[in-house]
Amino acid sequence: MSNPTPRRRLVGLSTKMYFSLQRTREFTDSFISKLAAVPQELLSNIDIFIIPDFISLTNIIAQLELSPVPIWTGAQDCHWEDQGAFTGEVSPSVLSSAGVKLVEVGHAERRRIFGEDDAMIAKKTAAVSRNGMIPLVCIGERTPGDVYAAVDECRVQVDAIMSSVADEAEVVLAYEPVWAIGASQPAGEKHILDVVSGIRGLDSVKTRTGTTRVLYGGSAGPGLYEKLKTGLDGLFLGRFGHDPQQFIKTIQEVPTYIIRSIMSPPAAVSPTQHTAELVKPVSKLAVAQNQGPLAKTVSEMHGQWDSFTFAPIRESQVSRAMTRRYFEDLDSYAESDIVIIGAGSCGLSTAYVLGTQRPDLKIAIIEASVSPGGGAWLGGQLFSAMVMRKPADAFLREIGVPYEDEGNYVVVKHAALFTSTIMAKVLQLPNVKLFNATCVEDLVTRPSAEGVRIAGVVTNWTLVSMHHDDQSCMDPNTINAPLVISTTGHDGPMGAFCVKRLVSMGRIEKLGGMRGLDMNRAEDAIVKNTREVVPGLIVGGMELSEIDGANRMGPTFGAMALSGVKAAEEALKVFETRRKENAI
């Protein structure tokens, strides 16, 4: 096999918020002048970029036209939408039309200071790419540890990034261990190379057809690339590069170097050729030395069970993979935009509509049961089929659930088909998090002109809530949100919780109590009356029957889905008002 063509090297810097307008102009002029003295053959395989502040962008683009070699201009951030009511944000479409070549997203500072998470960064990455620019995405582990833990943490970030862009799109990853930023002891060269090797070995990276370049984004200067050249495609310089002479010196040290051991093979290579795996494991992790390549498809496993083996893992990796993500979610969703209580058919439908219509909203779903779905896994009396009266069939078509048309109603062959489909679609949304086995014990309130406004929920593990009477005091947790949507069902151990709490806190006098079964009256009433019952609290589904004294509907589910649709609509009507109130 012939050697693969090397990726072009990439070296650049960001001025962050350090430069004045005058200094930015002077820096650029000085850099262009010094670059003209560099032999052009040294620059034949290198792409160079400068990322100035937003105000300087168009002037820098004009200045760089005088450069002896092409220099890319980058932007320090952008919004995930091309246009809209997003005051203070920068449109990726405008950046592209101005001549910007690449956009930096996901920097550790923006994650830490502005609360940007992987879902938001993925949306920004997609916006950059769809506007014809190259996303330069910053990644890195937050806590020091072994290579395997670092790669595992980076995997979550990288997978979110790659899932948001076309397979053929170019992506640049700038790796820097977050824990090493400003630390007295920076990350070692071996650690950097080993983690980058692991990143290149991720399925979301090595199977791409588009170019993926990996830079080191930490404290970098002259002499560093020589130590890292076997694993990296270039450098994303820090403040060291703010000296034009040092920037030039670093560029000159980046050689043309074919990375043989870790580059992905071209698409035409036989499947029996494999890229190198993560570097030799450290002594803590025992690995079978002759296990051979792992199967990439199920068909490759057929007939090979005698030699079958899973990829090696350390037990602590499993623990870290679960706990790190969960506690990151707890931290991220402690301030949510909307909380949905109850993940039955109404709550999931609400989450689907909100999550797809407003991807900028952070939506938390709290479900008391281990298994979400409520009573929608079966039809009536433990039968399989699910009946929905028209026009709820429109929602089935929206989410892609097949059904049999019986005239005024439709039948889904198994209720679990509806529930598993809507649940899968909701859980795939990057702005929605389901906390199951978690119950709402109380509501967060604020005084208002109407008497009280709901401003979040009080949560606890369901198993803890069930044992308050026989164990010592176990205090709860909280989630703040300007809007809560309660879909907890009719009265029961966990049902109708919010409306019962409104009575006990004196916000409403009493409940109407659910009436007897009348399908025709019940379903219309549930959908029509889905509403904000007190400021900050919308009630939908069968919980409404308890507050309004409506009829029960029995084993027909159309009102549950469409009450969810209306709950989402009601939420979007009042959300901005409630958000402003919640900011006080």
> Cα separation of 372 and 380, whole Å?
18
414 in a labelled binding site = no
Q: What would the 3-class secondary structure string for 142-171 be?
A: CCCCCHHHHHHHHHHHHHHHHHCCCCCCCE
DSSP code string of 432-484 = EEEE-SEEEEEEEEE--TTS-EEEEEEEEEHHHHTTTTTS-----EEEE-SEE
Yes or no: say if 457 and 440 are a contact pair by the CB < 8 Å rule. yes
Cβ neighbours around 326 below 10 Å, total: 12
Report residue 199 as tokens. 């990143």
542 in a labelled binding site = yes
Q: In angstroms, what CA-CA distances link 549 with 15, 502, 512?
A: 63, 15, 4
440 in a labelled binding site = yes
Residues in the chain: 584
Yes or no: say if 322 and 464 are a contact pair by the CB < 8 Å rule. no
554 in a labelled binding site = yes
> Cα separation of 223 and 74, whole Å?
25
Yes or no: say if 345 and 557 are a contact pair by the CB < 8 Å rule. yes
Q: Is 302 exposed, middle or buried (0-12, 13-18, 19+ CB in 10 A)?
A: exposed
**What SS3 state is found at 50?**
strand
Yes or no: say if 575 and 338 are a contact pair by the CB < 8 Å rule. yes
Q: Which residues contact 166 (CB under 8 A, 6 or more apart)?
A: 129, 210
Q: Is 102 exposed, middle or buried (0-12, 13-18, 19+ CB in 10 A)?
A: buried
Q: Which amino acid is at 466?
A: M
Closest CA to 251 of 514, 46, 89, 516: 46
DSSP lists the bridge partners of residue 438 as 461
210 in a labelled binding site = no
17 in a labelled binding site = no
Which residue's structure tokens are 């007939």? 303
238 in a labelled binding site = no
Q: In angstroms, what CA-CA distances link 575 with 359, 448, 567?
A: 14, 16, 12
Rounded CA Rg of the chain: 28
> Cα separation of 317 and 319, whole Å?
5
302 in a labelled binding site = no
> Cα separation of 202 and 134, whole Å?
20
Q: In angstroms, what CA-CA distances link 532 with 28, 46, 368, 412?
A: 56, 59, 22, 31
553 in a labelled binding site = yes
Produce one character per residue of 195-211: b if its CB has 16 or more CB atoms within 10 Å, e if not. bbbbbbbbebbbebeee
368 in a labelled binding site = yes
Cβ neighbours around 516 below 10 Å, total: 7
Cβ neighbours around 556 below 10 Å, total: 18
Provide the annotated binding site for substrate.
346, 367-368, 375, 440, 475, 490, 542, 552-554
Provide the annotated binding site.
346, 367-368, 375, 440, 475, 490, 542, 552-554
